[in-house]
Amino acid sequence: MPDQAHAHLLIYATLFPVLIVMVSKLSLKRGIQRRLNVFEEELESLVQDAISSKGAPAMDLARDVLLAGGKRLRPLLAILTYEATGGRDIHEVMDLALSSELIHTATLIHDDIYDQARFRRGRPTIHSSHGLAHAIIAGDYLFALGFSKGGRYDLDIVDMIASSCTNIARGELQQFNHIGDLTTTPEDYYSIIDGKTVGPFATGTASAALVAGASEEVSEMMYEFGTEFGRAFQLVDDLLDLTGDPEMGKPRGTDVHEGKMTLPLIHGLTILHGSEREHLADVLNNFSDDRWNELTSLLELSGSFSYTRQLIQNHVDRALEILSKLPPSDAKDLMLEVALISRNRRI
């Protein structure tokens, strides 16, 4: 019996830390979901109010894509940053969270037009179901609605939102100029994503800190967090485009087919030389689905996948280091979890 009791004790001692981790993970996920539920309720209420107003025709167009789900990372991080930097009533930051999602959805509608995409989150895109003019109007409407929500805050926050939208436009135009451009540099790449993807994350977290009453120094620190998070997020998307995962809503090869120069491709073109670089250039210039093995073999040869994964880890590490400077809180723990989840999106 003593031996059996000792064995049970060893099993318990082994399993107890695992159980603690599992309970902790479950608690974190529930904390994230609880805040997302509050946001979804606010978003649905906004949609219903708009449908009952003069904006009904435009909201009827935009409603499906707006409520179709998605990761909601921008509003989630705004809410969590607000709490982690001293905010007490998340409804104070809710208009900022709504603003970020409305503006983001507007860019998605316009992106779908540029990319001639037929589906978004499993649903027909607005331009494919209602026509180009209707899609442009729906996107413009969400931009305007997003600005109206963000406009209730102090001028410095409104200025940040305006600057972020300006940089989105700059990033889009810069990306157009680099479509199919095999001379695109890593600096070009970061300039593009900092405008299109990273800026909205950074603006949201920095603004949320100000709404919470945090100092300018803390707001700038959270801007850096949003920057590192956003860069890691985009690099993960780059890898998902090359590895493919339909369950993540990112079918393989969308960027490659559209001629977008993502970092793994840029790295491969930089590292490879001679006939191998010529081979990669030919694959990209004349790409089709039957050339996937050629593309991935060349990117493996150049170490571009592992290089991109290391960059993702570097950006996440810097984001976590910034968060470590905040005082302990449930919201801070949730932000750490969101950063790690984002890093591990099946890459």
Q: Are 344 and 240 in contact (CB under 8 A)?
A: no
The candidate with the shortest Cα–Cα distance to 81, out of 230, 234, 214, 231, is 214
Tokens 């707001």, residue located: 219
**Cα–Cα dist 206/224, whole Å:** 8
pLDDT at 123: 79
224 token code pair: 């850096």
pLDDT at 9: 45
CATH of the domain at 189: 1.10.600.10
**Cα–Cα dist 112/61, whole Å:** 14
pLDDT in tens, 202-255: 999 999 999 999 999 999 999 999 999 999 999 999 999 998 765 555 567 889
pLDDT at 13: 46
Q: What DSSP state is assigned to residue 119?
A: E
pLDDT at 296: 96
pLDDT at 125: 83
Residue 172 amino acid letter: E
Q: How many independent structural domains does the chain possess?
A: 1
* Sequence-distant (≥ 6) Cβ neighbours of residue 335 within 8 angstroms: 77, 80, 81, 84, 323
pLDDT at 250: 55
Q: Are 97 and 78 in contact (CB under 8 A)?
A: yes
pLDDT at 128: 82
pLDDT in tens, 44-57: 999 999 999 887 88
pLDDT at 119: 76
State the CB neighbour count (10 A cutoff) for residue 30.
Answer: 10
Residue-by-residue pLDDT tens, the chain, 347 positions: 455 555 544 444 444 343 333 434 666 788 899 999 999 999 999 999 999 988 788 898 888 888 887 889 999 999 999 999 999 999 999 999 999 999 999 999 888 888 777 877 777 888 887 778 988 998 999 999 999 999 999 999 999 999 999 999 999 999 999 999 999 999 999 999 999 999 999 999 999 999 999 999 999 999 999 999 999 999 999 999 998 765 555 567 889 999 999 999 999 999 999 999 999 999 999 999 999 999 999 999 999 999 999 999 999 999 999 999 999 999 999 999 999 988 887 65
pLDDT at 253: 86
| pTM listed for this prediction | 0.88
**Can you list the positions of beta strands (E) in the chain?**
119-120, 123-124
Per the structure, the complete domain to which residue 291 belongs is given by: 2-343
pLDDT at 15: 42
User: 201 to each of 93, 118, 241, 331, 334, how far by Cα in Å?
Assistant: 15, 26, 21, 17, 16
pLDDT at 134: 87
